[in-house]
């Protein structure tokens, strides 16, 4: 199995809230019409105040996450403070665009909370960097965006954001054959990074059906 051909389709969601950022993904890794893995991890903790999601090649994503984590840790060691979300995103975009590295076949969401509040950016494989209030990537993103456009408002809090993210991923899983096999939810707030337990996600999923 070639990792370059894995995760051809997926759905990821990132939502900024007044008190933090919500990340959500489904768990299916596909290779053509084959469901290659049913427990793919697509959310990564970079630091206590930063997380990312990935859509694309597994091998490239894992390598990229290692580079980003190392650079963020190095920044903290050199400067004695946490890197801002914008700076971490720009750094990640530079890694993607740099000629020192081979092309990374991934689309990444990176976001979190710093002294200026909650932020999220979308990075493309060429290093393009776009900030937005909510973002979805992957083959299921058209279906997820339908929910996000309908339900997102500027004044939501993380608790509301979790429900919207679950609805968005659920919508994608129902219509996109490359998305499925469960939902992962992670939060980044002033208290730090937290991945929701599967039982909590399932409980909330039942409550919103």
* Gyration radius of the chain's alpha carbons: 16
Q: What values do phi and psi take at 11, rounded to 5?
A: -140, 125
Report the relative pairing of strands 20-26 and 29-31 from DSSP bridges.
Answer: unpaired
What span, in angstroms and rounded, lies between the C-alpha atoms of 123 and 132?
A: 11
Provide the token pair at 58.
């597994």
Report the relative pairing of strands 183-189 and 192-195 from DSSP bridges.
Answer: antiparallel
Provide the token pair at 92.
């990640």
What span, in angstroms and rounded, lies between the C-alpha atoms of 66 and 30?
A: 23
Beta bridge partners of 114: 117
Q: Which of 6, 10, 108, 189 is catalytic?
A: 10
Instruction: Check if 177 is active-site.
Output: no
How many CB atoms are located within 10 Å of the residue 118 CB? 23
Q: Which residues are known to be catalytic?
A: 10
């Amino acid at each position: 199995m070639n990792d370059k051909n894995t995760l051809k389709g997926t759905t990821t969601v990132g939502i900024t809230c007044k008190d933090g950022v919500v990340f959500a993904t489904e768990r299916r890794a596909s290779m053509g019409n084959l469901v290659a893995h049913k427990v793919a991890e697509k959310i990564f903790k970079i630091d206590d105040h930063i997380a990312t999601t990935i859509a694309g090649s597994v091998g490239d994503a894992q390598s990229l996450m290692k580079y980003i984590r190392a650079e963020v840790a190095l920044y903290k060691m050199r400067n004695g403070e946490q890197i801002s979300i914008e700076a971490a995103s720009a750094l990640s975009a530079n890694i993607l665009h740099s000629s020192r590295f081979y092309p990374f076949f991934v689309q990444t969401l990176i976001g979190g909370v710093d002294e200026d509040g909650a932020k999220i950016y979308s990075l493309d494989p060429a290093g393009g960097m776009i900030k937005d209030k909510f973002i979805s990537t992957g083959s299921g993103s058209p279906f997820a965006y339908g929910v996000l456009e309908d339900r997102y408002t500027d004044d939501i809090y993380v608790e509301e954001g979790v429900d919207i993210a679950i609805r968005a991923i659920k919508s994608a899983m129902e219509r996109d054959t490359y998305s499925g096999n469960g939902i992962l939810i992670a939060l980044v707030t002033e208290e730090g990074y937290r991945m929701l337990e599967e039982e909590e996600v399932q409980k909330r999923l039942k409550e919103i059906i």
